[in-house]
Amino acid sequence: MGNLTVAGGNLFRIAAEQLGDATQWIRIAELNALSDPVLTGLTVLRLPNPDPTAGGGIARQ
């Protein structure tokens, strides 16, 4: 797990670049208490460890 500072963007791109799978955007969102995958302004994100078995892009119920 690490941190990443971004200026805008979206969690889909970040998940693709950092975790190797855009559908894992929801893991980043949940870890950072975000509900919107679109980011505005300067944001520091906590990143989960890569997990090739995670994905789907659906929030846990």
Residue spans of the domains in the chain: they are 2-47
pLDDT digits (tens, 9 = 90+) for 21-60: 999 999 999 999 999 999 999 999 999 998 888 866 666 5
Distance between alpha carbon 13 and the CA centroid of its chain, in Å?
8
The pLDDT assigned to 54 comes to: 85
Q: CA dist 38 to 10, 12, 35, 52, Å?
A: 4, 9, 9, 23
